[in-house]
């Protein structure tokens, strides 16, 4: 609970009187806009520059997506191998799990690596 809500609950102010709430909100919005203009993010070029990720962010995300994709392929391939190799594991439930592991392998191969291209 923030301080404005707490002060409204503990005081005897009429909750229908919204002048104080709107004044506070207007002041906060105008000070935020003033700060944005002072910081230089008021122009479209500066805003676009802040939205484009830096080189280190792209490298870090590429590395993270690569590790996630590799672990998904290795882990799900182990599950598929275990289910298909062991005769005792041949049941309807395990075939369903094998099917889900295969689908997850395909997502790890064909969907996850291409997510990095959205950052370029």
Question: Which is more confidently placed, 52 or 11?
Answer: 52
* CA–CA separation, 98 and 107 (whole Å): 14
20-77 residue pLDDT tens: 544 444 444 444 444 445 455 556 666 656 666 678 888 888 899 999 999 999 999 9
119, 57 in Cβ contact below 8 A?
yes
The position carrying tokens 């391939």 is 77
Question: Which is more confidently placed, 13 or 103?
Answer: 103
Q: What is the mean pLDDT of the chain?
A: 74
Q: Using CA atoms in the order 75, 80, 82, 85, what is the torsion angle rounded to 10 degrees? A: -150
Query: Which of 38-42, 54-58, 89-93, 94-98 shows the lowest mean pLDDT across its residues?
Result: 38-42
Q: What pLDDT, on a 0 to 100 scale, did the predictor assign at position 25?
A: 46
pTM: 0.54
């Amino acid at each position: 609970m923030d301080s404005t809500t707490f002060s409204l609950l503990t005081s005897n102010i009429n909750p229908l009187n919204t002048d104080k709430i709107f004044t506070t909100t207007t002041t906060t919005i105008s000070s935020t806009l003033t700060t944005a203009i002072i910081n230089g993010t008021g122009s479209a070029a500066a805003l676009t520059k802040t939205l484009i990720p830096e080189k280190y962010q792209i490298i870090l995300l590429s590395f993270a997506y690569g590790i996630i994709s590799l672990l998904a392929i290795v882990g799900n391939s182990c599950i598929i191998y275990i289910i298909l190799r062991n005769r005792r594991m041949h049941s309807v439930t395990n075939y369903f799990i094998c099917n889900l592991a295969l689908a997850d392998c395909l997502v790890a191969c064909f969907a996850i690596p291409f997510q990095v291209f959205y950052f370029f």
